[in-house]
């Protein structure tokens, strides 16, 4: 078989396409060998003879196997014919030549076999018909074909398996090879595009543009910082602003002093509480309760006096 060719190559070269098709159809066989009509005719004759010999061999083998099992499987066969059939079948199975004495011993059985040939043939036909019916059911269990069409169906299946199948497989291989070539070509294009994008991103104009933009922004930020420092040194703040800052600082200082004084007073109070201990705290609580009681009593007396007036 010729190696597959990309369809695009055939389309770009019409003359080569004609030559390629001529080689595939007229000059070469499907297996890639050179086509020779004379040799092929001889091969076809040999193939037909071989098929005929195989058919004869298969028929003989089938008949012998049927005769071997005929006494056990045929209920209509007379028992008197069982022994002659077994002996004749065994004799036919032998590959060596029997001596004349054995032929003399088998002459009676052979005569019986020949005399009852019609009965044996009928039983054999019935047995073969049963086997053929089973084969029809195996071929198509849902709709078994007729026995007459079984041979044609078997021939079609054989041709499909031995001729059409390999031919279709070869065509599919060619199609698959072309498809693989297309896939690899697409993969190559994808890789090329990816490499180009990476190159543009890392080393190309896009990367250079991004780097230049970042450097420009950095320079601009540096210039703005220098301008701010220069403006600070060349434009001092107004006097009112400085006075307000001083007043705010002074107020913050006085507030800080007051907070520190309050903190010191609170710390001294805590120290006194710590020195007094639990007993002192209890006395203070009792005094507070007594004072609150006196205040309540005085308020009550004042209320009564006001009501009496």
Burial class (CB in 10 A: 0-12, 13-18, 19+), 96: exposed
Sole residue written with tokens 């077994």: 86
Band (257; pLDDT cuts 50, 70, 90): confident
Band (308; pLDDT cuts 50, 70, 90): low
Band (183; pLDDT cuts 50, 70, 90): very high
pLDDT at 108: 78
pLDDT at 103: 64
pLDDT at 188: 92
Q: Flag whether pLDDT at 58 surpasses 80.
A: yes
Quickly list DSSP for 205-255: HHHHHHHHHHHHHHHHHHHHHHHHHHHHHHSPPPHHHHHHHHHHHHHHHHH
Cα distance between residue 34 and residue 37, in whole Å = 10
pTM of the full predicted structure?
0.39
Dihedral of CA 125/131/136/142: which sign? Answer: positive
Higher pLDDT pick, 146 / 56: 56
Q: 191-247 pLDDT, tens per residue?
A: 999 888 877 776 666 667 778 888 999 999 999 988 888 877 777 777 787 788 788
Task: State the average pLDDT for the chain.
Answer: 80
Sole residue written with tokens 């028929």: 59
């Amino acid at each position: 078989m010729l190696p597959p060719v990309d369809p695009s190559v055939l389309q770009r070269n019409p003359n080569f396409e004609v030559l390629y098709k001529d080689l595939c159809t007229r000059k070469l066989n499907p297996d890639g060998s050179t086509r020779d009509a004379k040799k092929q005719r001889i091969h076809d004759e040999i193939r037909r003879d071989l098929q005929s010999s195989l058919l004869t061999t298969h028929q003989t083998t089938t008949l012998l196997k049927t005769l071997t099992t005929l006494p056990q499987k045929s209920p209509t066969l007379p028992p008197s014919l069982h022994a002659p059939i077994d002996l004749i079948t065994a004799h036919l199975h032998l590959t060596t030549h029997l001596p004349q004495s054995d032929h003399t011993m088998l002459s009676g059985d052979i005569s019986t076999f020949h005399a009852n040939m019609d009965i044996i043939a009928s039983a054999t036909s019935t047995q073969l018909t049963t086997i053929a019916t089973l084969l029809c059911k195996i071929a198509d269990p849902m709709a078994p074909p007729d026995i007459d069409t079984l041979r044609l169906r078997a021939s079609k299946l054989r041709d499909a398996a031995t001729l059409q199948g390999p031919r279709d497989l070869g065509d599919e291989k060619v199609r698959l090879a072309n498809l693989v070539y297309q896939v690899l070509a697409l993969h190559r294009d994808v890789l090329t595009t990816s490499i180009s994008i990476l190159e543009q991103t890392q080393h190309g104009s896009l990367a250079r543009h991004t780097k230049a933009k970042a450097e420009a922004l950095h320079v601009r930020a540096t210039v703005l910082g220098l301008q701010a420092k220069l403006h600070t040194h060349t434009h001092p703040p107004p006097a009112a602003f400085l006075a307000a800052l001083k007043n705010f600082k002074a107020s913050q200082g006085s507030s800080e002093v007051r907070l520190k004084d309050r903190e010191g007073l609170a710390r001294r109070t805590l120290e006194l509480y710590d020195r007094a201990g639990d007993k002192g705290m209890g006395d203070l609580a009792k005094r507070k309760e007594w004072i609150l009681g006196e205040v309540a009593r005085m308020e009550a007396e004042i209320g009564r006096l006001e009501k009496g007036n």
